[in-house]
Structure 1
Amino acid sequence: MGSNLQLQTLLSNIDSREGVYSKLGGLYAESLRRLALKCEDHFTRSQRNPLRFEESNWSLFRLTSNKPSCNSGDAVYYSAACASDPSNSYAVKICKSPSMDAKQGHLYGLSVQQSMPPHFNLQQDCGHFLACVPQSMLPSDEVSLPTTPPSSLPQPSMSAPGQQVERERVVVITSEIPRQTAADFVREWAAFHKSQPEVYERRVCFLLLQLCHGLEHLKEHGVTHRDLCLENLLLVPNLRRPSQFPQQTTTDNGPSYGSSGVDSQRHLPRLLISNFAKAKRRSSEDAASTSVDPRIKRDHARLAPEIVSAAQYRKFDEFQTGILIYELLHQANPFEVSPALKEQDYRCEELPPIPSVSLYSTGLQRLAQLLLQPDPIKRIHIQEAKRILQSLLWGPRKDLMEQQREKHGQGVGFVDGSRHEGLLNWLDVKRALLMMKFAERSLEPERNAELEDWLCCQYFSSAHPLSLCHTAELLYSLK
């Protein structure tokens, strides 16, 4: 009955071609919103209702490989199987550094993680505890440290014989098995960046976009990470069964095909933010402002705004994201190369240039400048950085935005309503092409939803002319 009413509504103005097109545009947008939700359900299914593990469950785990799957800034990871949940794979995270301060830092970071709802781009903690682990599982630089007295904790079947020296560490069980850090990615793909800069820098845009999604989630829950570096960003393979067709992604300039047949190059990995040991939660004074105690309210009312809001941390992660852009593009951290930059009132134009080797280079250079603004008030928000990356990946490109600007005259503000019609038409066309692409792919039994599809749907299901204009002003300095 509902579909009949919807059809009647659509056909109510059937003699007007313009009216029908307008309604079709709305249908495409609504379809993409539903598709984005289906993709979200597909990719986050494993995060819902996860099992929780405690110290008493330690004996249920066994390694599936004696070699670490990943060595990150704060931990070593091993892939493992759980006897009580054999259908799923897990990673055993052995936190580094035996000192009491380091252990407290790990436990604090884990408490921050557990205080937030799960997110696709944040590492999920399925349980953590102190346990004695075999020395063979530790990084080589920790092997010579003093041993820990034997523990009564049950050891997993993956352990070596009981005579082996054991050391107490913070152990975390996670549902994602990282295969490399962003630092490993940068190192291993250096030659690829030189030979195929367009493909590499497009992938960097996707990794940065995932980082922005994760940081948005942190900000929504009053958390600043404060230690964003390549070693703390984990990459988890998102492999699907191989298809007889090459990987295809839609760009603003048309489809592009990955040239490598290797799965690790064809499929976009999932990025996870880890290591919250230096994270800063929103000041506890915020909670005090709602306290019933009038004395606390009065004291809170006398605090300066920068203390109440922890303003010095508000755009801390944005700044570090700007540095990451340089490092992901095989450039040095500008403030390591020229420490004097921070000691003076530098201008963004004084930051080292990023070599222009692809159609993404100039945009990434501009994004880095906006994120590395010395004045935090002028520094862009992570949400604006996300929109810039979406624009770099899927458009509209600079030539289209300039065309709209020239067509409607330069005397009027760029976000003026008269300029929206062309951008709305552009959005309708892109949404229609996307729906056609997904319809065709649904007939290919071996093709599943890709991570790029979800990210693309998120963009086109929520984009509107005003946001496109604002992003163009930032990215292309158009007014």
Structure 2
Amino acid sequence: PSLAELTFRTADGELGQVLRSPAGPGAVVLGCQAASLARLSARMEQELVGLEEQLQLLQAELVGKRWGALRVLEREPCCESGDAWYFRVGITFGHSPLVLAAKVPKPSCSSLGVQSSLGPHCTIQRLMCRFTDHLPRELQLPAHPGEQSHSPSREEQATHPVLQVLICAEVPYQTLAGFVKGSQELHRASPGHYERLVCLLLLQLCQGLEHLRGQHVGQGDLSPENLLLVQCPCPPGGQQGKKEPLGLSLPRLLISSFFRTKEKPRPCSTSQEQDWSEGLAAPTSPAAEEQKLGRLIYQLLHVDVSLEDTLGSRSSRLPEIPSLSIYSAGLRRLATLLLHRDPSRRVSLEQARSILQVLLWGPRQELFARSRKTLPLLQSWVEVKRALLLLSFAENSVGTGGTPGLEEWLCCQYFQEVTEHTLYQTTQALYA
């Protein structure tokens, strides 16, 4: 049997064949750990996102459905992003009631065709179906400032153009902009907790942007107003009472605005005088997303920074990020690398993701205080941390640690994929 097929119940005869491998029992243990992390990661994804087979069946069930097949659960939007309103709607699937989101795009939204062609990913809004229809009378679209909200009357419905509606699997409760605005007090009171949340949200965003780039798709507007937050599923049983308030718990981040890009090589100009705003003006430039990600770090950390100050100024100095927690210096370093004037010295999305993972789960700089950084040292660190992570999952499964959540899944992904070579390059950039 392969290492991925080994379990505690594997017969000793088969286990003996594996142990006679020239690589030795140590390699067998490491292989089993890697396979176990992969299985755990897949199970956590199912708990957080849902079974792909079930989602596909639900998509098939919704084909051809319109407002008449849905139950409107609330008259007013549960969330408003920069390009759409979201309403909670219900449907019975099998014998179970489900809550979905009805996305009503604003006139400025132009990414609907692109969204229909995207492959599934945990950070990409999952489109279940789309249709055009009049807005039901019981729903209210928010009015512009100074106007009153209203639902269309029967007469208005008869003459009013139909609206395009997208039914999405995830129900957002807030945008990232709302999260930032409402978390200033949390940042002051618990800077370590808040800045860890920032790292985890940025990590999800990097993963989503990497996925989109692999499909030659870009994020339409990388601003807090167009990034959605979704509450993670409640832990089962007695853990529900211990659930943290929304402001303290880690939400899933969703990208909901897209555009189709052209395949272009990453720009590599070394001109110090290149205008930083050039990347933002060209949505097909891969460097634009890295620069916007750097600016987003400042916004999440409540550092007042305008677009002109960050990207249009000729000054080489970036706004100062105060040191409030163990994550502050790393986030400051990452923002500097993402917004470097020299495009050849900016870090990529992949490198930014790796830096965030190191900030969250190590190795920290203290590992190299008494030992020179070498590949064997980093390899040993990875192997020990994988073993300790699996022990932690085992202990929590029989204790009071609760069901693994989104943060545990992201951690599991990290130790499933990381190598000593990646760590060497990442720590060189982060701790330079």
Please give the residue correspondences for 1:65-464 in structure 2 after superposition, counting only pairs within 5 Å.
Answer: 65-82=74-91, 87-97=97-107, 102=108, 106=109, 108-133=110-135, 137-141=140-144, 162=154, 168-241=162-235, 262-265=244-247, 267-276=249-258, 279-282=259-262, 313-336=285-308, 338=309, 342-344=312-314, 346-347=315-316, 350-405=317-372, 419-443=374-398, 447-464=402-419
Which residue does the alignment assign to 2:271?
A: none
Q: Find the counterpart in structure 2 of residue 29 from structure 1.
A: 34
Deviation at 1:469, TM superposition (A): 0.5
Contact 1:130 1:168 in 2 (8 A): yes
AA aligned to 2:291 is F
2:50 to 45, 48, 54: 45
CA distance 1:444–1:266, shift in 2 (3 Å): farther
Structure 1 residue 326 displacement after superposition = 0.6
1:6 Cα offset (Å): 5.3
Q: Secondary structure at the match of 2:233?
A: coil
Distance 1:431 1:133 in 2: 52
1:365 and 1:354 map into 2 onto residues whose CA distance is 6
Asked whether the 8 Å contact 1:242–1:446 carries over to 2, the reply is: no
Shift in Å, 1:22:
4.8
CA distances 1:376-405 after superposition (whole Å, capped 9, x unpaired):
332211111111000000000012134432
Query: Residues of 1 paired with 2:291 and 2:386: CA distance?
Result: 33
- Identify the residue that residue 306 of structure 1 maps to in structure 2: none
Q: Is the 8 A contact 2:195 2:328 kept in 1?
A: yes
Aligned to 2:73: 64
The alpha-carbon deviation at position 54 of structure 1 amounts to 5.8
Deviation per residue, 1:75-101 (Å, 9 max, x gap) = 11111112566532111112223xxxx
| Alpha-carbon separation, structure 2, partners of 1:84 and 1:462 | 36
Question: Is the deviation greater in 108-117 or in 187-196?
Answer: 108-117
- Checking the alignment, whether the CA contact within 8 Å between 2:48 and 2:405 is kept in structure 1 is no
Residues 196 and 238 of structure 1: is their aligned pair in 2 closer, same or farther, counting only changes over 3 Å? same
- Kindly provide the amino acid, as one letter, of the partner of residue 69 in structure 1: C
Provide the rounded CA distance (Å) in 2 between the counterparts of 1:232 and 1:375. 28
Matches of 2:85 and 2:301, distance apart in 1 = 26
Structure 2 SS opposite 1:51: helix
- Equivalent-residue separation in structure 1 for 2:393 and 2:364 (angstroms): 23
Q: Is the 8 A contact 1:178 1:234 kept in 2?
A: yes
Please give the per-residue CA displacement for 1:219-252, whole angstroms capped at 9, x wherever unaligned: 11111224100011100000314776799xxxxx
TM-score (norm 1): 0.75
Q: Which has the higher contact order (CA 8 A, sep 6+)?
A: 1
Looking at structure 1, the residues matched to 36 and 295 of structure 2 have their Cα atoms a distance apart, in angstroms, of 37
TM-score, normalisation: structure 2: 0.82
Instruction: Give the % identical residues.
Output: 37
User: Tell me, what secondary structure is at the counterpart of 2:59?
Assistant: coil
Whether the aligned pair in 2 keeps the contact of 1:226 and 1:317 (CA below 8 Å) is no
Q: Are 2:131 and 2:166, in contact at CA under 8 Å, matched by a contact in 1?
A: yes
Q: Within 1, Cα distance between the matches of 2:46 and 2:67?
A: 30
Equivalent residues of 2:48, 2:232 under 8 A apart? no
Q: Decide whether aligned partners of structure 1 residues 26 and 63 sit closer, same or farther in structure 2, where only a CA change above 3 A counts.
A: same
**What SS class does the counterpart of residue 345 from structure 2 fall into?**
coil
- Tell me how far apart the structure 2 counterparts of residues 177 and 327 of structure 1 sit (CA, whole Å): 24
The alpha-carbon distance between structure 1 residues 394 and 56, as it changes in their structure 2 partners (threshold 3 A), is closer
Shift of 1:23: 3.9
> Between Structure 1 and Structure 2, whose CA radius of gyration is higher?
1
Q: What SS is found at the alignment partner of 2:97?
A: coil
Question: Aligned residue pairs: how many?
Answer: 400
Q: What amino acid maps onto 2:154 in structure 1?
A: G
* Greater displacement, 134-143 / 227-236: 134-143
TM-aligned CA deviation for residue 342 of structure 1: 1.8
Within the alignment, does 1:469 sit opposite 2:411 as a pair?
A: no
Deviations 1:407-431 (A, max 9, x none): xxxxxxx6xxxx2222222112211
1:138 is paired with a residue whose SS is coil
Q: Distance in 1 between matches of 2:377 and 2:65?
A: 62
Distance 1:51 1:433 in 2: 40
For 2:75, the aligned partner's letter is: N
